[in-house]
Homo-oligomer: A and B are copies of this chain.
């Protein structure tokens, strides 16, 4: 039987060790074993985000929940927020914040491009934003934003604005430095480049933003969520990071066990750890993209290699459903288009073990060969 291969931009293929971690005997959420595992996972999440002072928050949820965590804990009615959109997910983040009463000033990139830094600078010079929000990689387009560049602009022209990053499709496969880049809030999820199953909302909060949420925010006459409250979760995360069990809401024990294993594979399984994993993944991505464009003559959505994601590839194709079916019939599962404003396209995910170990598992190679077969057959028709 043909081995099935999940090459969507999340969820992704799991390593045998991650899969095996899920089948462990049930353990209590207040047991020493679980507390130690959660402690490891929290500390390793800090290493993953490259932060020493950031506060990790890991709870049951999806990537989407991370938007609400920011909205619910930070946004007051009529707060002005600059949101730099590079696709569907940036737009959805904007909708989410609007629900919390924010006045969202949305800068839309031309599909396939980033918003020019100069445009952002002008906005920052003219307005007073509580936060500047961006998506490092919008999974709908594969455009890679210049998070470092935008954050530098904020530091220079609007230093009081919080810098907020959706890192769902980037953390673990793109260069990201929470501390060095002065990020205040970054959210991600477990099922993309981290390489765990879906079901965990993973966020990092800067000391500056945490101080605002805990002490400075005026919540008079504001709706406050219970499950989403940093004030509820902070003592729990602080306690767990010190190795002491603590309870607010029951954590998803098995998923935390798998996160712990996935993070160790990402951070500690090779001599140079995360950097090495990211380099290997990028190399796979570069090779795949080059084959598709140079060998098969396909065109990608992102127009500039500097602003092209490494965790997925978006290619314009005449009939995405037909291509997806051909690959699925051959055991390889990729994803369809999300934006309707541009010509039809397909999305191939190459995150986690499929990307950093393509030399051995040939996942991306196999996908390329099938794409080549498809293109060759179609061009003959």
Interface on A for B, CB 8 Å cutoff?
4, 6, 8, 10-14, 19-20, 22-23, 25-31, 59-65, 67-68, 71-72, 77, 92, 95-96, 99-101, 189, 191, 197-199, 201, 222-229, 248-255, 333, 335
Q: Say yes or no: A6 contacts B23, CB within 8 Å.
A: no
User: When the two chains form their complex, are residues A223 and B99 in contact, meaning their CB atoms are under 8 A apart?
Assistant: yes
Q: Which B residues lie within 8 Å of A30 (CB)?
A: 8, 335
Instruction: Find A6's partner among B26, B60, B189 (CB 8 Å cutoff).
Output: B26
Contact of B29 with A226 in the complex, beta carbons under 8 Å: no
Residues of B within 8 Å of A226, CB to CB, are 64, 67-68, 71, 92, 95-96, 99
| B255 close to A223 (CB less than 8 A) | no
Chain B positions within 8 Å of A8 at CB level: 28, 30
A29 & B4 in contact (Cβ 8 Å cutoff) = no
Residue on B with the closest CB to A71? B226
| Residues in B whose Cβ lies below 8 Å from that of A72 | 225
With beta carbons under 8 angstroms apart, the residue of B60, B92, B229 that contacts A199 is B60
| Closest Cβ neighbor of A34 among chain B residues | B11
Residue of B nearest to A64 (CB): B249
Residues of B near A227 (CB, < 8 A) are 61-62, 64-65, 67-68, 96
Question: How many angstroms between the C-alpha atoms of A230 and B89 in the bound complex?
Answer: 19
Q: Which of B22, B63, B255 contacts A23 (CB 8 A)?
A: B22
B223, A10: Cβ atoms closer than 8 Å: no
Q: Establish whether residues A198 and B252, one from each chain, have CB atoms under 8 Å apart when the complex forms.
A: yes
The answer on a CB contact under 8 Å between A198 and B251 is yes
Contact of A252 among B67, B77, B197, B248 (CB under 8 A): B197
What are 19 A-B contacts defined by CB distance under 8 Å?
A: A11-B26, A14-B26, A22-B254, A28-B333, A60-B60, A62-B227, A62-B251, A64-B227, A64-B249, A65-B227, A65-B249, A67-B227, A95-B226, A99-B224, A197-B253, A198-B251, A198-B252, A198-B253, A199-B254
Residues of B within 8 A of A14 (CB): 26
Q: A26-B197, A28-B335 are in contact. List 12 more A-B contacts (CB 8 A).
A: A4-B27, A6-B25, A6-B27, A62-B249, A63-B250, A64-B226, A68-B228, A92-B226, A99-B223, A100-B225, A222-B223, A254-B255
**Is A198 within 8 A of B6, CB to CB?**
no
- Chain B residues near A19 (CB-CB < 8 A): 23, 25
Chain B residue numbers with a CB within 8 Å of A248 are 64
Q: How far does the alpha carbon of A144 sit from the alpha carbon of B197 in the complex, in Å? A: 36
Contact assessment for B71 and A250 in the assembled complex, using a CB-CB cutoff below 8 Å:
no
- Taken together as a complex, chains A and B put the C-alpha atoms of A247 and B42 apart, in Å, by 29
Q: How far is the CA of A31 from the CA of B100 in the complex (A)?
A: 33
Which residues from B are CB-within-8-Å of A20? 23
Among B92, B198, B228, B249, contact of A63 (Cβ-Cβ < 8 Å): B249
Q: Which of A25, A28, A99 has the most CB of B within 10 A?
A: A28
Q: CA separation between A27 and B198, bound complex, in Å?
A: 11
Nearest CB on B from A348, distance (A): 13
Tell me the minimal C-beta distance from A118 to chain B in angstroms. Answer: 31
With known contacts A29-B198, A249-B64, A100–B22 Cβ distance under 8 A:
no
Distance A191 CA – B333 CA, assembled complex (angstroms): 31
Residues of B with C-beta under 8 A to A27: 4, 6, 11, 333
A101 touches B223 (CB 8 A): yes
Say how far A162's CB is from chain B's closest CB, in angstroms: 19
Of A64, A189, A223, most B-chain CB atoms within 10 Å: A223
Tell me the smallest distance from the CB of A53 to a CB of chain B, in Å.
Answer: 27
Expressed in whole angstroms, the Cα–Cα distance for A23 and B6 within the complex equals: 15
Would B22 and A6 count as touching, CB distance under 8 A? no
The residues of B that contact A198 with a CB separation of less than 8 Å are 29, 60, 250-254
